[in-house]
C-alpha cells in the first residue's frame, strides 16, 4: 500500500493576511504524515515592482515576466515569502525546507513558446524530480515550494503556483497516495454564489458532467475543476477545494473531488 502524501496550495489571499497566514501555518504544522506546501506570490511582487519604478505587465490576467520582473519575483517569491513561511513553520516544530524548482533540481520547465503573446520568462512544467523530493520527505523535511522553476540551463522561470501544486501531486502520485488541497477564499465549490454555506460536498466525474450541463456553478470555477479532474485522471487520489479550515482534521465543510 502506498503512503499518503498531502500537497497543499495557498494563494495570495492567505499570504497577504498575516493573521490568516499564521492560522493556516498552525493548521498545516499539525497535519500528520508527509506533506508539501506550495505558495503563490500575492501582490507583494507587484508592489515592489512599482516601488522600483517598473511597470507590471499583464496579458489576459497573466503576468508577463520580462528580465526585470523575473528578478523581482525571484526576490519576493523565492526570498521574502518563502523564507518567512519557512521560519514560521520552524517555530511550529515543522521541519520546513524552502525550495524553488531549481533547488535539488526539483522541477524543470521550458520557457513558454511565443505565439500571439510573449510571456517572457514564464515556464511550463516538463518534469517533477520525484527522486529528489522523495529523498527530502524521507529525511523528515517538509518541502515548501515557491512558484519558480528552472530550465536546467541556468535560467529561472516564473510558473503558476496552481500548476506547480498539481504537477507535484501528479508526479508524486506514482509513489504516494496523493491528496491535493487547493485553499482559496470560499468554503468550497458553491451551488449558490450568494450563499457561502451552499458547498457541494462531493463531486465525481458523473456529477461534474451534470454540473457542467446544468450551468449551475460560477464560470471562474470551471477551469479550476477541469484542472482538478486532469490531476485525478493522472494518478492523484483526491482533490479538495475549500478555505484554510479544510486542512484541519476536524473540518467537514469543503468540496472533495474524485473520479
Known binding-site residues for substrate equal 41-42, 63, 158
**Cell numbers that stand for 121 in this block:** 520568462
Q: Could you tell me which residues come within 8 angstroms of residue 7 by beta carbon, excluding any fewer than 6 positions away?
A: 35, 36, 38, 165, 168, 169, 172, 178, 179, 180, 181
The 10 Å Cβ neighbour count of residue 48 is 17
Round to whole Å and give the CA distance between 247 and 253. Answer: 11
Q: Which residue lies nearer to a copy of itself by CB, 84 or 235? A: 84
Shortest distance in whole angstroms from residue 161 CB to a copy of itself: 16
Q: Which residue lies nearer to a copy of itself by CB, 53 or 61? A: 53
Tell me phi and psi for residue 97, to 5 degrees. -135, 120
Q: Which residue lies nearer to a copy of itself by CB, 83 or 234? A: 83
Q: Could you tell me which residues come within 8 angstroms of residue 93 by beta carbon, excluding any fewer than 6 positions away?
A: 29
Residues that bind a copy of itself (CB under 8 A): 48, 51-53, 71, 74-80, 82-84, 86-88, 90-91, 95-100, 102-105, 132, 135-136, 139-141, 148, 150, 152-156
Q: Which residue lies nearer to a copy of itself by CB, 10 or 236? A: 10
Shortest distance in whole angstroms from residue 43 CB to a copy of itself: 15
Q: Which residue lies nearer to a copy of itself by CB, 40 or 188? A: 40
Shortest distance in whole angstroms from residue 179 CB to a copy of itself: 24
Round to whole Å and give the CA distance between 140 and 138. Answer: 5
Phi-psi region of 40 (alpha: psi -120 to 50; beta: other; left: phi over 0): beta
Instruction: Tell me which DSSP letter residue 34 carries.
Output: S
Tell me phi and psi for residue 188, to 5 degrees. 160, -165
Shortest distance in whole angstroms from residue 214 CB to a copy of itself: 46
Shortest distance in whole angstroms from residue 146 CB to a copy of itself: 9
Shortest distance in whole angstroms from residue 155 CB to a copy of itself: 7
Q: Which residue lies nearer to a copy of itself by CB, 103 or 243? A: 103
Round to whole Å and give the CA distance between 88 and 98. Answer: 12
Amino acid at each position: 500500500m502506498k503512503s499518503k502524501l498531502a500537497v497543499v496550495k495557498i494563494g495570495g489571499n492567505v499570504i497577504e493576511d498575516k493573521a490568516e497566514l499564521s492560522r493556516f501555518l498552525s493548521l498545516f504544522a499539525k497535519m500528520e504524515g508527509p506533506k508539501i506546501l506550495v505558495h503563490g506570490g500575492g501582490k507583494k511582487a507587484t508592489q515592489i515592482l512599482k516601488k522600483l519604478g517598473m511597470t507590471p505587465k499583464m496579458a489576459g490576467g497573466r503576468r508577463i515576466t520580462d528580465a526585470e520582473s523575473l528578478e523581482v519575483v525571484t526576490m519576493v517569491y523565492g526570498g521574502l515569502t518563502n523564507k518567512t513561511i519557512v521560519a514560521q513553520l520552524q517555530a511550529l516544530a515543522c521541519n520546513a525546507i524552502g525550495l524553488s524548482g531549481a533547488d535539488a533540481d526539483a522541477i524543470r520547465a521550458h520557457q513558454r513558446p511565443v505565439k500571439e503573446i510573449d510571456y517572457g520568462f514564464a515556464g511550463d512544467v516538463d518534469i517533477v524530480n520525484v527522486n529528489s523530493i522523495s529523498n527530502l520527505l524521507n529525511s523528515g523535511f517538509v518541502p515548501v515550494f515557491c512558484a519558480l522553476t528552472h530550465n536546467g540551463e541556468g535560467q529561472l522561470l516564473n510558473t503558476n503556483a496552481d500548476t506547480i501544486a498539481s504537477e507535484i501531486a501528479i508526479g508524486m502520485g506514482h509513489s504516494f497516495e496523493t491528496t491535493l488541497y487547493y485553499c482559496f477564499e470560499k468554503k468550497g465549490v458553491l451551488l449558490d454564489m450568494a450563499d457561502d454555506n451552499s458547498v457541494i460536498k462531493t463531486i465525481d466525474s458523473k456529477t461534474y458532467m451534470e454540473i457542467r450541463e446544468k450551468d449551475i456553478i460560477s464560470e471562474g470555477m470551471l477551469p479550476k475543476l477541469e484542472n482538478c479532474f486532469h490531476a485525478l485522471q493522472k494518478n492523484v487520489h483526491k482533490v479538495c477545494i475549500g478555505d484554510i479550515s479544510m486542512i484541519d482534521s476536524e473540518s467537514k465543510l469543503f468540496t472533495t473531488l474524485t473520479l
